């Protein structure tokens, strides 16, 4: 009798352990499964850095500031993408869990292929793995690096090294794993990384390609189709696509950045994504001053003081600015910071 009871208890523990593993290894029915080509609702890229804060300085937004941001976002988005295996991502996940916000996360980590960054890369990987496993009910995928393979990247890795990091993360987490990179990398049929990710996370920026608003969506669709043709049967998610509300410099057509144009691109991109079953993370939620006063600092749908730009004013009348949020085109150009 004692032997039978012990055996039964052991079988029960094994069953519960397997059930827990199965639940963790596969998305719950209510969660987006980004390995399936489908539109899972509005999605957005989020970094909460405000004036005086920056990932480079390791000065991060407070929990109260993050809660303010996510309370704004959850009105229209239930899926966000983060960029670092760092304290900011840890804080965001804690705020989501503690306040039961119902937001799901694609957790990013930042990799740098320049000499001397191996230690920081290892820390990013370890932190992201830990967070993905700790917050399994929130993190639906891990993004191993951002724009690390496209030729123009200033923090480029070799494909071999990128694959090494991807495989390290894949072995340690139970959610899908990907890498975010520009369509110029992913459109290559020989892109080796495609065989090592669970889905492709591509970027497309018509503004950086000297397109103006009338050709912005045709250009975005062309970029998407080039990646789909290069990797038939592979699920493709757009991880970044957006339009700045202000621009300077020769990288764009004159006065490309504009709130009216941003609103049009946002609406056209969302309509196309939904109609074509492409989950698309819009870049981005809020302006980030640490990126400079030029184009890079003005991709947000909300200004740095959390006021709604034109694209969001219909949905957020309570966040209407007292005056126009876009800076004057007479401002001097600032260095571009990616």
Task: Write the pLDDT tens digit of every residue in 137-159.
Answer: 999 999 999 999 999 999 999 99
Residue ranges of domains in the chain: 35-319
User: Would you say residue 88 has pLDDT above 60?
Assistant: yes
Are the CB atoms for 210 and 296 separated by under 8 Å?
no
Question: Model pTM?
Answer: 0.89
Give the per-residue pLDDT at 16: 37
Rounded mean pLDDT, 187-210: 98
Task: Name the helix (H) or strand (E) containing 142.
Answer: strand 139-146
Radius of gyration for the chain, computed over Cα atoms and rounded to the nearest angstrom: 21
User: Would you say residue 337 has pLDDT above 60?
Assistant: no
Are the CB atoms for 45 and 81 separated by under 8 Å?
yes
When mean pLDDT is compared across 27-41, 99-113, 203-217, 271-285, the lowest value belongs to 27-41
Q: In this structure, how many other beta carbons lie within 10 angstroms of the beta carbon of residue 120?
A: 14
What CA–CA distance (Å, rounded) separates 335 from 338?
10
User: Would you say residue 122 has pLDDT above 50?
Assistant: yes
Higher confidence at residue 327 or residue 324?
A: 324
At 327, is the pLDDT very low, low, confident or very high (cuts 50, 70, 90)? Answer: low
Higher confidence at residue 114 or residue 19?
A: 114
User: Would you say residue 87 has pLDDT above 70?
Assistant: yes
Contacts of residue 265, Cβ cutoff 8 Å, sequence gap at least 6 = 206, 213, 216, 217, 242, 243
Torsion-angle region of 103 (φ positive above 0: left; ψ -120 to 50: alpha; else: beta): beta
Give the per-residue pLDDT at 325: 55
Give the per-residue pLDDT at 23: 41
Give the per-residue pLDDT at 322: 85
Give the per-residue pLDDT at 82: 98
At 30, is the pLDDT very low, low, confident or very high (cuts 50, 70, 90)? Answer: confident
Kindly state which CATH superfamily the domain 35-319 is placed in: Glycosidases (3.20.20.80)
User: Strand, helix or coil at 73?
Assistant: helix
What CA–CA distance (Å, rounded) separates 92 from 74?
13
Q: What are phi and psi of 43, to 5 degrees?
A: -135, 150
Are the CB atoms for 157 and 184 separated by under 8 Å?
no
């Amino acid at each position: 009798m004692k032997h039978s009871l012990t055996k039964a208890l052991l079988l029960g523990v094994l069953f519960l352990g397997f059930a827990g593993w199965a639940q963790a290894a596969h998305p719950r029915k209510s969660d987006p499964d980004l390995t399936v080509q489908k539109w899972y609702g509005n999605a957005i890229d989020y970094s909460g850095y405000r004036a005086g804060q920056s990932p480079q300085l390791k000065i991060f937004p407070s929990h109260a500031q993050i809660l303010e941001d996510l309370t704004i976002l959850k009105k229209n988005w239930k899926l966000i993408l983060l960029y670092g295996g760092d304290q900011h991502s840890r804080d965001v996940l804690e705020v989501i869990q503690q306040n039961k916000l119902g937001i799901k996360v694609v957790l990013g980590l930042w990799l740098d292929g320049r000499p001397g960054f191996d230690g920081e890369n290892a820390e990013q990987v370890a932190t992201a793995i830990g967070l993905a496993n700790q917050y399994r009910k929130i993190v639906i995928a891990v993004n191993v690096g951002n724009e690390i393979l496209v030729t123009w990247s200033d923090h480029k890795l070799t494909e071999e090294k990128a694959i090494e990091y991807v495989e390290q993360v894949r072995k340690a987490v139970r959610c899908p794993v990907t890498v975010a990179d520009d369509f110029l990398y992913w459109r290559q049929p020989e892109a080796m990384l495609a065989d090592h990710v669970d889905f492709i996370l591509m970027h497309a920026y018509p503004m950086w390609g000297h397109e103006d608003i009338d050709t912005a969506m045709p250009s975005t669709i062309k970029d998407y189709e080039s990646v789909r043709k290069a990797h038939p049967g592979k699920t493709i998610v757009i991880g970044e696509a957006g339009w700045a509300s202000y621009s300077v410099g020769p990288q764009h057509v004159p006065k490309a950045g504009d709130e009216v144009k941003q609103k049009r691109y946002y609406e056209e991109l969302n309509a196309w994504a939904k109609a074509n079953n492409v989950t698309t993370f819009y870049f981005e939620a809020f302006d980030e001053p640490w990126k400079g006063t030029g184009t890079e600092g003005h991709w947000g749908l909300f200004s740095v003081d959390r006021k709604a730009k034109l694209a969001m004013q219909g949905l957020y009348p309570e966040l209407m600015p007292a005056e126009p949020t876009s800076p004057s085109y007479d401002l001097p150009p600032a260095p571009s910071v990616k």
